[in-house]
Amino acid sequence: MRLVRLALLALPVLALIACDKATPPVPEQTESGLDTPPAIPVMGPERTILAFGDSLLAGYGLNDGESYPARLEQALRARGVNARIVNAGVSGDTTAAGLERLDFTLKSQTERPELVIISLGGNDMLRGLPPKETRQNLDAILKRLTSDKIKVIVLGMLAAPNLGKDYAEKFNPIYPQLAQKYGALLVPFFLQPVIDKPDLMQQDHMHPTAIGVDAIVSATVDDVADALPKVNEAATAVAPSPN
């Protein structure tokens, strides 16, 4: 069964590099309305979160309000967290492209994010880029964010089995090792909730459906809520570096 799960690993991510890559826009705020009133009243100051990554955050193939950042925002608000998540996902992004636009993205925010959610590296893997380059780029991204005292969640990815054991041995440890190095919270494999579940995948068998996104949100919302700095910590955080 484990071999079957690993064989299916390649399916949800094969289209990451197939998505056309557009010039990075100034990120826009996700939709935050809920279909039903939140179970817990939203309280406290607004908590700004930046979702920074590729098509798995951009919401490829989904309607407005169905992306992971949008649904995560709704789930946090249903728990009483006054969350505002900015979706800075760009379909097709590699770690190099993400690093290149990181400063632009941070400087374009109207409010300094308290937490950044990173989902990058899947396209590096599918293009067969050297894991050493992926590690260097992600290291630079995490270094930049942590130097500004911004907390980070790393959404992990695993190498597709067809790339071979040697590639996997170099690629797979990148996420846990960098998360440990920078004190970031790690989600070991972001797509785990939709693997082996065709009904949670789009017709391309590569990206999660809206229901699949909700399954991923359910599996990660508590981690995100726990990763948010305490209100007093957020208030005393230093301003971001001008560099």
Three-state DSSP at 46 gives strand
Q: Strand pairing of 28-29 and 81-89? A: antiparallel
Single out the catalytic residue among 196, 204, 222, 223: 204
55 is catalytic: yes
Report the distance separating Cα 118 and Cα 186, nearest Å: 10
Q: Which of 120, 57, 107 is nearest to 85 (CA)?
A: 57
Half-sphere exposure of 80 (CA within 13 A, CB side): 5
- What 8-state DSSP symbol labels residue 185? E
Concerning whether 207 is annotated as a catalytic residue, the answer is: yes
The single residue of 55, 67, 91, 119 carrying the catalytic annotation is 55
Distance CA 216, CA 2 (A): 20
Residues 6+ apart with CB under 8 A from 33: 65, 74
Out of 54, 93, 207, 214, the active site residue is: 207
Interatomic CA distance for residues 3 and 96, integer angstroms: 31
Tokens read off for 162: 């067809």
67 is catalytic: no
Active site residues: 55, 204, 207
